[in-house]
């Protein structure tokens, strides 16, 4: 239960934001409206799918607004009528205009999944993994017109496991974020916040991921490729190409995309002789995995997804396919041909 009840408008879209919305409801705050993005096409059939926050709002019978532009003049008039004391934003996906930022008595606060000022922007969770960070966290802050740059209210760190993917880390951060958000709102309600300006000298920025960001560059070191696989899971997925004899028996064409979902053992002290194997070349095949040469070291592939197929273990993939040592993954083709 919260220490003081507040009238709140909640803005959020993906699953990451749902625990925060649930925490507001459980804390007995008055969520007078939920604002989220419109339904989007999803899957191979491009069927319209509702965002997770919409489903949570409907389940709890909360007033719901789906807006392509939250700064639309008509909706701002609606916000004025709703008269929220506080606007809470969690992974909403749209920037708020000054007219909205200035509207609530207690301002607008944001929950961001990084230890600001580091990793501002659209992909803080993925970027932390890609960069090999061992710690991240969540930050609540007062929103300003500059992206993720407002005064910090509360922060809490979280260790990144060597096996964390963007999905698993996001799940843990969303739960931690809901707890931190609850504490933050209670402090605001009691008038006990002491916001701290961000140190701009320590700021770093992330961008929205694109599908081609998952392309594996085998000339990179094995740990970097391991981090790419983790950071691109679940979207867009790390991927490479398989050529010639690496294709499924009876398959058409001479190349297929192969997504890599899980990697295992990394050997970093092993420098492959240039005359022996090229980066991207399969150096070993076992019943359950394949080992691939990298620019420095080698990496074990444990879980993959061939084009238009389900996710499977590397062992399942290898069975029924003529995949042997020497096949070159990537754009170069089969090194033995």
Structural domains in the chain, CATH included, are: 7-206 (3.40.50.170), 211-318 (3.10.25.10)
* Confidence (pLDDT) at 152: 98
Question: Which residue positions in the chain have pLDDT lower than 50?
Answer: 1-2, 248-252, 274-275, 334-337
The structure tokens listed for 79 are: 């916000």
* Confidence (pLDDT) at 302: 97
The answer to whether 75 touches 87, Cβ cutoff 8 Å, is: no
* Confidence (pLDDT) at 245: 54
Q: What is the pLDDT of residues 131-163, one digit of tens each?
A: 999 999 999 999 999 999 999 999 999 999 999
The enclosing H or E element of 91 equals none
Backbone angles phi, psi at 157, to 5 degrees: -85, 165
The structure tokens listed for 119 are: 């990793």
Tally of CA atoms within 13 A in the half-sphere of 153 that contains its CB: 26
Tally of CA atoms within 13 A in the half-sphere of 304 that contains its CB: 22
* Confidence (pLDDT) at 271: 52
Task: Tell me, letter by letter, the H, E, C secondary structure of 129-196.
Answer: HHCCCCEEEEEEEECCCCCCCCCEEEEEEEECCCCCCHHHHHHHHHHHHHHHHHHHHHHHHCCCCCCE
Using CA atoms, how far apart are residues 304 and 316, in angstroms rounded to an integer? 9
Q: What is the pLDDT of residues 237-278, one digit of tens each?
A: 999 998 765 554 434 456 789 999 999 988 875 555 544 789
Using CA atoms, how far apart are residues 314 and 294, in angstroms rounded to an integer? 18
| Closest by CA position to 296, among listed 256, 262, 268 | 268
Using CA atoms, how far apart are residues 240 and 218, in angstroms rounded to an integer? 9
DSSP 3-state of 35: strand
* Confidence (pLDDT) at 246: 53
- Strands 40-42, 47-49: pairing is antiparallel
Using CA atoms, how far apart are residues 258 and 148, in angstroms rounded to an integer? 36
Using CA atoms, how far apart are residues 292 and 326, in angstroms rounded to an integer? 10
């Amino acid at each position: 239960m919260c220490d003081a009840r507040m009238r709140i408008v909640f803005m959020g879209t993906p699953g990451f934001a749902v625990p925060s919305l649930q925490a507001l409801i459980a804390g007995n705050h008055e969520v007078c409206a939920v604002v989220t993005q419109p339904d989007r096409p999803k899957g191979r059939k491009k069927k319209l799918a509702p965002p997770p926050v919409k489903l949570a709002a409907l389940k709890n019978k909360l007033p719901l607004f789906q807006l392509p532009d939250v700064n639309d003049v008509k909706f701002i008039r609606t916000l004025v009528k709703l008269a929220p004391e506080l606007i809470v934003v969690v992974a909403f996906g749209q920037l708020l205009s000054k007219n909205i930022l200035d509207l609530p008595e207690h301002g607008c606060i944001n929950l961001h999944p990084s230890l600001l000022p580091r990793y501002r922007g659209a992909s803080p969770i993925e970027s932390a993994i890609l960069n090999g960070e061992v710690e991240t966290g969540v930050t609540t802050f007062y929103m300003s017109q500059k992206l993720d740059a407002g005064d910090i209210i509360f922060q809490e760190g979280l260790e990144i496991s060597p096996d964390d993917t963007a999905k698993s880390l996001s799940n843990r951060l969303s739960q931690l974020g809901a707890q931190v958000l609850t504490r933050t709102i209670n402090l605001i309600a009691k008038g006990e916040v002491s916001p701290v300006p961000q140190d701009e000298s320590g700021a770093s920025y992330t961008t929205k991921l694109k599908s081609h960001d998952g392309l594996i560059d085998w000339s990179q070191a094995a740990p970097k490729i391991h981090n790419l696989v983790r950071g691109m899971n679940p979207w867009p997925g790390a991927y490479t190409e398989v050529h010639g004899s690496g294709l499924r028996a009876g398959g058409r064409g001479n190349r297929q995309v192969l997504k890599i979902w899980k990697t295992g053992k990394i050997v970093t002290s092993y420098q492959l002789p240039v005359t022996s194997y090229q980066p991207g070349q399969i150096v070993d095949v076992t019943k359950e995995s394949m080992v691939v040469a990298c620019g420095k070291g080698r990496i074990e592939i444990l879980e993959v997804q061939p084009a238009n197929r389900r996710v499977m273990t590397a062992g399942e993939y290898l069975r029924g396919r003529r995949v042997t040592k020497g096949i070159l993954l990537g754009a170069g083709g089969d090194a033995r041909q």
